[in-house]
Amino acid sequence: MRNFFGKMKGRTQSPPRVDMSEVIWSWTGSFIGISAVGLIHFSLLDQTSLIMIIGSFGASAVLVYGVTRSPLSQPRNLIGGHIISAATGVTAYLIAGKIPWLAAALAVSSAIAIMHITKTLHPPGGATALIAVIGGDSIHNLGYLYVLMPAGLGALTLLVIALLVNNLAPKRRYPEFWL
């Protein structure tokens, strides 16, 4: 019991703040990345409910442009996480779509489990899976196409920009690994 509450105290200090150049490169990368994803979505897709998926890519931008070293930010996780979560979300909707809260929970929890198993853990994948369930008719109508577009396409766009911008920064490199 004491141990249980003792764990809640924490045990270490927070990591250091990054310096200003890191902040600027994070801003630049995510600005360009989200611009590209936004342009593709707003001009090519031009459907209101598809815009939801952008929320998911906003989260990816934090990782891919803000924490470039993290295992969670690597191409395998970025692409794999979105694609696997999208497929899991669509499947969860097909199975349990009649009970929205259950389908939503099933989508997210299964996406996390499968990302773990496949070593593609990418936090925004949780959002991608959830949006497959709660994203409305136009997303439901896509069926499994949702996996490739918008999910796969958006992730790929972010990856291309990450490869270009992160490697322009003198003290950054990306990726740490591909597979």
Partner 1 sequence: MLSDKSKKFTLIEISDEDVFEAMRSIQGYIDITPADFREVYKAAYGLAKMRFMQTLTAADIMTEGVHVLGENTSLYEAALFLAEKGITGAPVTDAQGKLSGVISEKDFMSCMGAEKRDSFMLIVARQLRDGKNLAENLNGRTVGDIMTAPAITISADTPVSRISSIMGEKNINRLPVLDSSGSLAGIVTRSDLISSFNMLGDGDA
Which residues would be at the binding site for partner 1 (CB under 8 A)? Answer: 11-16, 18-19, 21-22, 66-70, 72, 171-172
Nearer residue to partner 1 within complex by CB, 2 or 11: 11
Q: How far apart are CA 99 and CA 84, in angstroms?
A: 22
Cis check: omega of the bond before 123, within 30 degrees of 0: no
CB of 65 to partner 1, least distance (A): 11
CB of 32 to partner 1, least distance (A): 18
In angstroms, the first-to-last Cα distance of the chain is 42
Nearer residue to partner 1 within complex by CB, 41 or 172: 172
Residue 61 near residue 54 (C-beta atoms within 8 A): no
Nearer residue to partner 1 within complex by CB, 3 or 13: 13
CA distances from 81 to 128, 135, 153 (A): 9, 18, 13
For 100, the token pair is 């929205």
CB of 78 to partner 1, least distance (A): 15
Nearer residue to partner 1 within complex by CB, 68 or 157: 68
CB of 69 to partner 1, least distance (A): 5
